[in-house]
Amino acid sequence: MRWKGRRISTNVEDRRGGAGAKAGGISILGLVVAFVAWKFFGVDPQQAYQATKQVTSQSQPAETRGLENPTPEQQEAMDFVGTVLADTEDTWSQVFQQQLNAQYVAPKLVMFNGIVDSGCGTAQSAMGPFYCPSDQKVYIDTAFFKDMRQQMGISGEQNSTELSRQDQAGDFAQAYVVAHEVGHHLQTLLGISAQVQKARVQSSEVQGNQLSVRQELQADCFAGIWAHHNQQRTQFLEQGDIEEAMDAAHKIGDDYLQKRATGQVVPDSFTHGSSQQRMKWFETGLKSGNINDCDTFNQAI
């Protein structure tokens, strides 16, 4: 993926130099339960970190700050995320104007280490990247990218120079993750998230999970739209990038994660969609580039 030399967003908040909350009253068991519930059993991420918020109710806020002397690798991670975020800003500003005759309002993106306070409660890195509609911010612990490289089977035996190169680290798969979370921001702007939340309150658990799946698949489709238009604008894709993103989509499918964790698959517990569904909807957005083709709520998924 070609990303260097383009604009870097000013909407990135660097909180990597200090924790977002002191761990004071955190129950280790509570954190583990929240993580396992989200990662392997399909519990809504909102519920997971709200549960964490409850077990950290005794936590005291701590000052957050950026890294004073970032290593080259840390600085490159910041530049990479900032460039991808800028690409989403430029792409969605154009798409909103052309397809919706509306103005796009970009989210903030918070980079943190370990634990962070958000408008949705206290969150930890084990929960993975997430979007909080309450403060309209995307939260990413860049340690997640290291975990993602290992999840995708990219060797951890590279030397430090190799590890510092984003093109050796599944860079487009990482960009896809950022674009997916920004997709949730689009759902907030378009009023979709509020409608889903209202419908879930009135639904059974299984029905609520199905709504969550459709919401997540739409965010995958939006990520595909971003890639479609960003390619037209910047010609940033290289050979193997699309396969890389499809592999990432496959490995974060609910069925893949459940099978790996427990040896069995429980479709009614899915909250993000199967591997096949996630790949399908990313590819739909990638080929189409049209927001209307991402209506996962009124189409067979």
Please work out, in degrees rounded to the nearest 5, the angle formed at the alpha carbon of residue 221 by the alpha carbons of 220 and 222: 90
Tokens of 72: 């080259």
Q: How far is CA 196 from each of CA 102, 110, 127, 170, 298, rounded to the nearest angstrom?
A: 22, 25, 21, 32, 13
At residue 65, the pLDDT reads 58
pLDDT of 39-73, one tens digit each?
Answer: 444 445 555 544 444 443 333 344 445 676 778 88
At residue 142, the pLDDT reads 74
At residue 256, the pLDDT reads 83
What residue ranges do the domains of the chain occupy? 12-294
The CB density around residue 267, as the number of other CB atoms within 10 Å, is 14
pLDDT of 224-245, one tens digit each?
Answer: 999 999 999 999 998 888 888 8
Tokens of 48: 């997971």
Mean pLDDT, consecutive 10-residue stretches, the chain (301 aa), reads 93 77 38 44 49 41 59 86 96 97 96 89 82 94 75 46 45 92 97 94 92 95 97 92 86 84 86 91 96 94 89
At residue 152, the pLDDT reads 59
Answering whether pTM is above 0.85, one says: no
At residue 57, the pLDDT reads 38
At residue 66, the pLDDT reads 67
